[in-house]
Amino acid sequence: MPQGQVEVTPDDGLTTRQRRNRPLLAVHTGEMKGKSTAAFGMAMRAWNQGWPIAVYQFVKSAKWKVGEENALTALGRLHEQTGEGGRVVWHKMGSGWSWSRRRGSEVDHAADAAEGWAQIKRDLAAEAFGFYVLDEFTYPITWGWVDVDDVVETLVNRPGRQHVVVTGRNAHPTLVEAADLVVEMHKVKHPMDAGQKGQRGIEW
């Protein structure tokens, strides 16, 4: 794809400006690391535009402290103090919604995931944020905890100008088909292939 150039100009009745500013649904999938990190990079760009940011983590443990969370919440505090950038809200398992994969039945986890998805639906309907990261959200879909048809219908028909990025392995084909931007990350080489475990500043 030529840099900065589109390959086709659709006959959709929109102006170039309207088409350029159309809100996007993105999916980051594949077996390789970096899906969430790329989504958080997009969130930082959105913050710089002054958009309110919402992150919803569905699988990562509430006890994990990832660098992107610290960076984005710090940017949220900066917004509160100076007005620069946008508001940042970060929801994760065990904080607000009890999504953590702890002892309990799968039915309990499914109900928790459904509760989280219901909150996202309310936020989308209210146009509460400009940019959403639904981190590791492919897994509740794969496990049947949320209905993929409901997810796709909600995301495709969301009102206003709200950008959404979904991350996680094995994205459902229906979600992939509905998305505007899909990235699939494949491993070419990884330090773990040579027995090197994850390290600070790289994996977290």
- CATH number for the domain harbouring residue 154: 3.40.50.300
Please count the other Cβ atoms lying within 10 Å of the Cβ belonging to residue 61: 14
Assigned domain for 90 exists: yes
Segment-wise mean pLDDT, segments of 10 residues, the chain, 204 residues: 66 72 94 94 97 90 72 96 97 54 57 89 98 95 95 98 97 98 93 84 75
Positive or negative torsion for Cα 155, 53, 203, 182: positive
For position 49, what pLDDT does the model report?
Answer: 97
What is the domain count for the chain? 1
Range of the structural domain that residue 133 is part of: 21-186
Assigned domain for 2 exists: no
Assigned domain for 164 exists: yes
For position 199, what pLDDT does the model report?
Answer: 81
Q: How far, in Å, CA of 72 to CA of 201, rounded?
A: 15
For position 178, what pLDDT does the model report?
Answer: 98
For position 72, what pLDDT does the model report?
Answer: 95
Q: How far is CA 33 from the centre of its chain?
A: 15
Q: How far, in Å, CA of 42 to CA of 189, rounded?
A: 24
Assigned domain for 1 exists: no
Assigned domain for 16 exists: no
Adjacent-strand bridge partners of 89? 54
Assigned domain for 9 exists: no
For position 98, what pLDDT does the model report?
Answer: 44
Assigned domain for 139 exists: yes
Assigned domain for 110 exists: yes
Tokens standing for residue 34: 């970096």
pTM of the entire predicted model: 0.87
